[in-house]
Amino acid sequence: MKKLDKYILTKFLSTFFFCLILLTIIVVVVDVSEHTDDFVKSKLSIWRIITDYYFGFIPRIDAMLFPLFVFIAVIFFTSKMAGRSEIIAILSSGVSYRRFMLPFIVGGLLLSALLWGGYQYTVPKANRIWGDFEKKYVDINMGAANLNTSYKQHIYFRLDANSYVGIRGYDTISKTGSGLFIQKFKNNQLVYNLRSSNFSWDTATNKWSMLAVNERFFQEKTETVKNYERLLMNYNFKPIDLRKDEYLKDQMPTPELDAFIAKEKMRQSESLSTLLVERYNRDAVPFSVLILTIIGVSLASRKVRGGSGMHLAIGIVLCVVYILFSRISVVFATKGSFSPWLAAWIPNIIYGFIAFYLYKKAPK
């Protein structure tokens, strides 16, 4: 690594972490003002609020705004170099534009890898801390508008290729429910039916404990009935599979999310598109860091009247349009028939072409 590479890479990363810290402080101050009433109603100490909320909120919000932080850092630092005619001097000395961009690309790859690792493991843990606090202390204040209540009603899903489960009501906190039935079919004929008035998750055996159980086995001309006061059964669904709140997909590390998606595919779940978009976004968003780095360098390396202010204005507009593309594609995927993979990657595809165009048009 040459002295020029060290200079650019050091300035790039230091500017990024400065932007990250500064903007995080601003976001936290705004969030404190919005949640003051919730914090007071929770009756928690300041230390508990920090550990039970902000230890989850800060990594979560930083991951969401990470590409924007990188973009602002690239534009700010590069436009300063252009304003001091440093880029003109570098290119005039015989350094090619491609070689000039190399330390920026290395920095973009390092930050992309950092964000990718965070999305796989660290951010889901932070989302669990943040989500538990929101569900316990914030959502409860929303009253009838709260869609993340712990009690779920009328749950139906596929257990395996020939079996189906129905639940009248289930509490995700106490892990207890009522009105459970399981039906198995063979050659389009009902061959087994189980009903239980109440059931709960037995943590000692990791099985479902069912009360007042009625089992019926159907043959061609006969029927066998068995009744039990209490029955322990092991099925391929666990308490986490019965959670249907918006926090669930964000709180699972990627290996756990992959296993959950495989089960939901087998069950033909209605929420499958939402889960797939989340999974693909964990790879697509980190890759956007590299694309935005190339766009930022290509934009800001030109010396213009207005300096870094003009570059920052253009950059913010591009980021807003990127977020708009991302949100629209996600809505089409979760509410329509749009491919979840395309929903996650189409903003990167479009901005990849923009990055290539700006690179070709950059002054060399």
Express each pLDDT in 252-267 by its tens digit.
Answer: 899 989 988 888 887 7
Comparison of pLDDT for 129 and 144, the residue scoring more: 129
Residue 149 has pLDDT above 80, yes or no: no
Residue tagged 């089409």 (tokens): 332
Question: Which has the higher per-residue pLDDT, 197 or 41?
Answer: 197
Q: What is the largest CA-CA distance in the chain?
A: 93
CA distances for 287 relative to 83, 88, 290, 296, 347, angstroms:
29, 29, 6, 15, 11
**So what's the pLDDT on residue 180?**
93
Strands 176-186 and 223-233: unpaired
Mean pLDDT score, 115-122:
93
Please report the pLDDT score of residue 144 as a whole number.
44
CA distance 52 to 58: 11
Indicate the range of 45-49, 144-148, 188-192, 243-247 predicted with least confidence.
144-148
Q: How far is CA 35 from the centre of its chain?
A: 22
Question: What's the pLDDT at 306?
Answer: 56
The Cα–Cα gap between 8 and 29 comes to 32
Least confident segment among 44-48, 242-246, 322-326:
242-246
* Over residues 194-219, mean pLDDT: 91
Sheet with 189-202: list strands edge to edge: 151-158, 163-171, 176-186, 189-202, 207-218, 223-233
CA torsion angle for 73, 74, 79, 84 (degrees, to 10)? 90
Give pTM, 2 decimals. Answer: 0.79
Average pLDDT over residues 139-155: 64
* Residue 245, pLDDT score: 66
pLDDT tier for residue 113 given thresholds of 50, 70 and 90: very high
The DSSP code for 37 is: H
Question: What confidence tens digit (pLDDT) does each residue in 225-250 have?
Answer: 999 999 998 888 888 778 766 678 88
Residue 338: what pLDDT?
81
Domains and their CATH numbers in the chain: 3-141+272-361 (no CATH), 153-239 (2.30.30)
75 has a pLDDT exceeding 70: yes
Give the confidence band of 145 by pLDDT, cuts at 50, 70, 90: very low
pLDDT band at 305 (very low <50, low <70, confident <90, very high): low
